[in-house]
Chains A and B, each alone.
Chain A
Amino acid sequence: MEMRKAYVAAMAEVMKNNPKVVVLDADLASAGGTKPLYTQFPERAIEVGIAEDNMTCVATGLAAYGFIPFIHSFAPFSVRRNFDQIAVSVSYSCQNVKIIGYDPGVTATTNGGTHMCFEDVAMLRALPNIRVMDIVDPVQLAKAVPFVAEHQGPVYMRFARKQTDTLFDEDYKFRPEKADVVRKGNDVTVVASGAMVFDALKGAEILHEKGIEAEVIAVHTVKPLDEQTIAESAARTGCVLVVENHSVHGGLFGAVTEMFARTVPTPCDAVAVYDRIGQVGSLSELKKDYNLTGEDVADKAVKLIARK
């Protein structure tokens, strides 16, 4: 199932159960998948037009009125385009607005550089009060949505609309405060967020063939980070490779290395986007071009282990 299908199904359920939940779109309801909600809940589905700044603050007004608004756009226009609106009317005002960013980083594919946001996590990590989530698959997304609606306070959630790759089965239990250890190992800790977990697991498979056992931790929430799970793993493995579909500056790599700088100095490295702008391409081409593949994970892990 596509992520957007899982999302809209989960939202329909949440909106059925909670009359306070409203959705807002900036002319991407068709692309993002929320369109059916406009028929199901006409009073609580609000088309704002191509005006993400206005959408953000309309959501603030709705939140101040007791509603739980979800705003939607591509990641760059959900976060970067309206950053001051989020800073003042959501973060500073501590209003219960949920921000959904579609197609983060390379998953913007053929929409290209203007739509390819490598900095959304860094930007929102820097603002107080906002929970920052990077979702791995449709199963996790469906289980996270009810939590996001119930959680008191702003949340940012990024995911790729059209992704169908599935990591978890229906028995998966989403634990808001805990990252998921999806592979056990003792030689290197690989901490991956969102859909990069798939590439991290590919890397772990390559390493396994070389006799290296990687522990893979799938992070769905970059802030607040489950530092305990990562620190405990690192204490066993002695080094940490972060894997993220985001700039190397200020995202998950920032969160992980800040923690180790404050606590136990630990060799770290990152498979991430190294200070580059976006471009058009297919997902597999882009992953190769930005060195975000399973092979890159394995190569970096080998070099990192040598630094222990």
Chain B
Amino acid sequence: MSTVESSKKIRALTLKCIGSLGSGHVGGSLSIADVLAVLYDKYMNVDPSNPHMEGRDRLVLSKGHAGPALYATLCYKGFFPEDWLLTLNKLGTRLPSHCNMLLTPGVDMTAGSLGQGLSCACGLATGSKILKDNATIYAIVGDGELQEGQNWCALMYAADKKLDNLIVFVDKNGLQIDGTTEEVMDIGDIENKFRAFGFDTVSINGHDHDAIDKAIKNARLHKGSPSCIVLHTVKGKGVSFYETMGAGVHSTTCTAEQLQKALEELR
């Protein structure tokens, strides 16, 4: 199956997951489905039957509210059965709204309080460097999330420690809860800010699988500094009525009717 087919499957499972509850973080989940498909189909050295395998690659989904997209991906890759997806946010679930490393097989880091994930990823990357186990640490941060100052402490750290085993994706979908990122708090030139902080940085269409593939391949080969891949994405990508919803798509409904319509579009 191509990574494009995988991304469709991930989007469908994401919406089934959120649809089981009727609403959730739809927009920022759908915007990262493509990078998750390429990562898990082609790059992540992980074993669904041994989620704590030593020396595995790790992903920190710092924008932890996009948990459903990661759950869909992990489910699709065989970390847990599909019926788990229908337990989202129900008391006692293994799949809480925001990622929890103690609950979900395949989730490598807890996230939810924005701005902490990059630092945690730096710690994982440092650990891998100490052990010399050649793992690659990936992190996905939101563009709005970059408004949290701790991210910039983490970037400074990653460059200072020459963490070339760290690859950071910025999901630049341009929207956050209160409006566009420009309206709420303009983050400015993300690419050049990462470059100024010492990251080898590229900017690509975050829904173009060939571009994602090439960017990851190059980032893995790059030595001497950490890498950043800025993904230009559409919040709600893949479903027409979510793509055009604006800032409201961050957390919105996924009724039975919406789910059915979305699944038809994703076929």
Interface residues of A (CB under 8 A from B): 22, 43-44, 46, 48-49, 51, 53-54, 56-67, 69, 84-85, 87-89, 92-94
Contact = CB atoms under 8 A, between A and B. Distances in A.
10 contacts: A22-B130, A54-B157, A57-B123, A58-B120, A61-B125, A62-B124, A64-B123, A65-B127, A65-B131, A85-B119
Given A22-B130, A54-B150, A92-B110, A65 B123 contact: yes
Given A53-B150, A57-B119, A62 B126 contact: yes
Nearest to B112: A88
A14 B102 CA distance: 28
B128 interface: yes
Given A57-B150, A89-B110, A93-B101, A49 B125 contact: no
B109 interface: yes
Contacts of A66: 127
A48 B157 contact: yes
B245 interface: no
Nearest to B161: A46
Interface in B230-265: none
Given A64-B123, A92-B110, A93-B110, A57 B131 contact: no
B236 to A, nearest CB: 27
A91 to B, nearest CB: 11
Contact of A61 (B102, B124, B150): B124
Given A57-B154, A58-B122, A85-B113, 13 more contacts: A46-B161, A49-B160, A54-B122, A54-B157, A58-B157, A61-B119, A61-B120, A61-B126, A61-B127, A62-B127, A85-B119, A89-B110, A93-B100
Contacts of A69: 123
Given A53-B150, A54-B153, A64-B109, A44 B130 contact: yes
Contacts of A54: 119, 122, 150, 153-154, 157
A184 B150 CA distance: 50
A61 B121 contact: yes
Given A61-B120, A61-B122, A88-B110, A67 B150 contact: no
B14 interface: no
A58 B137 CA distance: 13
A84 B113 contact: yes
A83 to B, nearest CB: 11
Contacts of B101: 64, 93
B126 A46 contact: yes
B120 A60 contact: yes
A88 B114 CA distance: 10
A245 B124 CA distance: 36
Interface residues of B, number: 30
A251 to B, nearest CB: 25
A92 B128 CA distance: 23
B221 to A, nearest CB: 23
Interface of B: 60, 100-102, 108-110, 112-113, 116-117, 119-128, 130-131, 150, 153-154, 156-157, 160-161
Q: Which 6 A-B pairs have the closest CB atoms?
A: A61-B123, A65-B127, A57-B119, A54-B153, A51-B153, A58-B123
A58 B127 CA distance: 9
B90 to A, nearest CB: 19
A15 to B, nearest CB: 12
A94 B127 contact: no
A58 B166 CA distance: 13
Chain B CB within 10 Å, residue with most, of A59, A61, A69, A89 = A61
A54 B119 CA distance: 5
Contacts of B124: 61-62, 64-65
A85 B113 CA distance: 8
A49 B156 contact: yes
A88 B122 contact: no
A64 to B, nearest CB: 6
Nearest to A59: B123
B109 A61 contact: yes
A20 to B, nearest CB: 10
Contacts of B161: 46
Contacts of B117: 57
A67 B102 contact: no
A62 B123 contact: yes
B109 A85 contact: no
Contacts of B120: 57-58, 60-61, 64, 89
Nearest to B123: A61
Nearest to B148: A53
A131 to B, nearest CB: 18
Contacts of B130: 22, 43-44, 67
Contacts of A93: 100-102, 109-110
Nearest to A48: B157
A48 B102 CA distance: 27
A104 B128 CA distance: 34
